[in-house]
Amino acid sequence: MHRVLLSLLVAPVIGWSADVTIGSATAHAGQKANGFIRIQAGSDAGTDIPVIVINGSKPGPTLSLISGSHGTEYGSIVALPKLAQLIDAKDVSGTVVILPLVNVPSFLEKVPHRNPVDRKGMNNYPGKADGTQSERAVAAVLSQVIGKSDYLIDYHGGDLDENLRPFSYWTKANQEPIDTTTRDMLLAFGLRMIIAKTGGRSLDATAIALGKPCITVLGGHAGTADQEDVDALVHGTLNVMRHLKMLAGPVKLLENPLWVSHYTVLKGDQDGIFYPLVVPEAYVRKGMTIGYITNFFGERISEVVAPVSGVVVYIASVPTVNKGDNLGYVGELASPN
């Protein structure tokens, strides 16, 4: 039922043509254009989503690059405009559509995870054309970008309260050829840790349900946009474009990735102050203390222990903890097969 609904909401793949238009941006062959996907006011205010269209000089697939669903994941938000400046449309086969910042209100008001206008997330598809601002924006991205793409990359990172090392998600369809296609895209992107998952209402799961290969990559942490993280996202994207034959040049594939078959979420069990004792990519044993919570007098009131043996995917980067808050993920290691 969900797949049928999504298929009714999207348009046919546009492929390459002399002109490509997304929102108010129209790019002629061999050129770039900037514009906006305009989200009209409804039950609340409207918003404009910036879009960059890079229309290659030769035919090829349409690759969409989408960042900033969470507006304080700065590494990826910085990386995509930089990437757009590096790509010469005359060298491209096909079309690159870039949404560098979907959740503009979150970015401008420095609000992590949600849109401050309606307190909803912008990574919850398919959205609603007559819903709140976040729902209208998501519905527009689905119809105007996801539905017109052959391949997609969804960019995220460590929000203001999340400390992590760059990693990627392999959202599996459990069918071929799409799983092999996305696996190869991940190896071309080159981030060492790859976490397998299925289902959900995120952008990648929505695209996969439509038969459109999509990977999710994360870079940047705790409100930073370090050059190393930004460069990893930029270089990974260019290598994927070479892998897809959209750019000329040799392709380097990741060797010996760190495959994570499943992750367990750590939750705070009390309000207080959180002190982490581990860093991202640290190996931990089941039952090991990896952090603790104190009250506001500094008295230790709770131990945070590893629920499984594995690797720390991310750990909370701020002291604030409310009961029920996510404090981190511990991933279990496994072979991709």
Whether 263 is in a domain gets the answer no
> What is the structure's pLDDT at 199?
87
* Per-residue pLDDT reduced to its tens digit, 144-174: 999 999 999 999 999 999 999 999 999 999 9
299 and 216 belong to one structural domain: no
Do 82 and 217 belong to one domain?
yes
Q: How confident is the model at residue 254 (pLDDT cuts 50, 70, 90)?
A: very high
Task: Mark whether 235 and 163 lie in a shared domain.
Answer: yes
Residue 178 counted as domain residue = yes
Is the pLDDT at 229 greater than 60? The verdict is yes
C-alpha 245/C-alpha 207 separation (Å) is: 21
- For residue 337, pLDDT over 90 is answered with no
Domain end among 243, 259, 290 = 243
Are 235 and 176 part of one and the same domain?
A: yes
Looking at the structure, do residues 172 and 320 belong to the same domain, yes or no?
no
**Average pLDDT value for the chain:** 93
Mean per-residue pLDDT, 109-133:
96
- Which phi and psi angles does 243 have, rounded to 5°? -60, -35
pLDDT tens digits, one per residue of 199-215: 899 999 999 999 999 99
Q: Residue 331: inside a domain, yes or no? A: no
What is the number of domains present in the chain? 2
Q: Are residues 114 and 207 in the same domain?
A: yes
| Residue 248 forms part of a structural domain | no
Residue 254, in any domain of the structure: no
The reply to whether 330 falls in a domain is no
- Which range of residues forms the domain containing residue 201? 2-243
Question: Could you tell me if 182 and 297 lie in one domain?
Answer: no
Question: What pLDDT is stored for residue 335 in this prediction?
Answer: 64
Task: List the beta strands (DSSP E) in the chain.
Answer: 19-22, 25-28, 31-39, 47-55, 58-66, 93-99, 151-156, 162-164, 167-171, 193-197, 214-218, 258-267, 272-276, 283-284, 289-294, 300-305, 310-316, 320-321, 326-333
Task: Kindly state whether residues 305 and 236 are assigned to the same domain.
Answer: no
If asked whether residues 292 and 214 sit together in one domain, one would say: no
**Which residue, 157, 143, 55, 51, is CA-closest to 99?**
51
Give the confidence band of 18 by pLDDT, cuts at 50, 70, 90. Answer: confident
> Which pLDDT value is given to residue 153?
98
- The string of pLDDT tens digits covering residues 261-279 is 999 999 999 999 999 999 9
pLDDT at site 17: 56
Q: Are residues 176 and 316 in the same domain?
A: no
Would you say the pTM of this structure is higher than 0.85?
yes
User: Can you tell me whether residue 93 is helix, strand or coil?
Assistant: strand
pLDDT band at 334 (very low <50, low <70, confident <90, very high): confident
Listed residues 243, 276, 297: the one ending a domain:
243
Residue 261 lies in a domain: no
Asked whether residue 207 falls in the same domain as residue 288, the answer is no
**In-domain check, residue 107:** yes
CATH number of the domain enclosing 122: 3.40.630.10
* Tokens encoding 26: 């129209």
The answer, yes or no, to whether residue 3 has pLDDT greater than 50, is no
> 317 and 210 in one domain?
no
Mean pLDDT of 237-250: 98
Q: 282: domain CATH number?
A: 2.40.50.100
Half-sphere exposure of residue 213: CA atoms within 13 angstroms, side-chain side: 19
Bridge-partner residues for 162, per DSSP?
316
Backbone phi, psi, residue 50, to 5°: -65, 145
